[in-house]
Amino acid sequence: MKAAWAACCAILAGIGLARFAFVPLFPAMVAAGWVDGAGAGLLGAGNFAGYLAGVLAGRGLGLRLGVPRALDVGMGLAALAFAACAVPGGLVWLLGWRALAGVAGGFLMALAGPAAQASVPAESRGLAGGIVMAGAGSGIIVAGLLVPPLLAGGLPQAWLGLAAAVLLLWLPARRAWPDPPALPAAERAAAVPRAGALLLAYGLSGAGMVAPMVYLGDLAVRGLGLPLAAAAALWMAFGAGAVAGPLLGGRLAGHFGGRRLLPAWMVVQVAALAAALVPAWPALLLAAPLGGFAGIGATAVTLAAARELAGPQGAVIWVRATAAYAVAQAGLGFALAALFKATGDSHAAVFGCGLALSLAALLVAWVGRRG
Q: What is the pLDDT of residue 117?
A: 81
Contact 182, 312 (CB under 8 A): no
- Is 139 part of any domain? yes
145 lies in some domain: yes
Phi, psi of 121 (to 5 degrees): -60, 155
Enter the pTM of the model: 0.82
- Please choose, from the candidates 150, 139, 151, 164, the residue with its C-alpha nearest in 3D space to the C-alpha of residue 30: 151
CB atoms under 10 Å from CB of 244, counted, come to: 18
- Cα 133 to chain centroid distance, Å, stands at 9
Instruction: Look at phi and psi of residue 225 and say left if phi exceeds 0, alpha if psi is from -120 to 50, else beta.
Output: left
Instruction: Tell which residue, 213, 192, 218, 244, has the closest CA to residue 333.
Output: 213
Q: Does any domain span residue 186?
A: no
Number of folded domains in the chain?
1
Indicate whether 171 belongs to any domain: yes
CATH code of 132's domain: 1.20.1250.20
Query: What pLDDT was estimated at residue 189?
Result: 47
Q: HSE, CB side, 13 Å, CA atoms: give it for residue 329.
A: 31
Q: pLDDT value at position 64?
A: 92
Instruction: Evaluate whether residue 261 is within a structural domain.
Output: yes
In a domain, 187, yes or no: no
Phi and psi at 180, nearest 5°, equal -70, 150
Note the pLDDT of residue 182.
65
Distance CA 67, CA 2 (A): 15
Q: Whole domain around residue 323: which residue ranges?
A: 2-179+192-367
Residues in the chain: 371
Number of helical H runs and strand E runs in the chain: 15, 0
Task: Find out whether 122 and 203 touch, Cβ atoms under 8 Å.
Answer: no
The burial class, CB within 10 Å (0-12 / 13-18 / 19+), for 231 is: buried
**185 belongs to a structural domain:** no
pLDDT per residue, tens digit, the chain (371 aa), is 789 999 999 999 999 999 888 878 888 898 899 998 888 888 988 898 898 899 889 988 998 999 999 999 999 999 999 999 999 999 999 999 999 999 999 999 999 988 888 888 877 878 888 899 899 999 988 988 888 899 999 999 999 999 999 999 999 999 999 988 765 544 454 566 777 889 999 999 999 999 998 888 889 988 999 987 888 788 889 999 999 999 999 889 878 888 889 999 999 999 999 999 999 999 999 999 999 999 999 988 998 888 888 676 777 888 888 889 888 988 898 899 899 989 998 999 999 999 999 999 999 999 987 65
First CA to last CA across the chain, in angstroms?
32
Query: What pLDDT does residue 186 have?
Result: 45
Residues 6+ apart with CB under 8 A from 65: 73
Say if 184 falls within a structural domain: no
Q: In this predicted structure, what is the pLDDT of residue 49?
A: 87
Confidence (pLDDT) at 172:
93
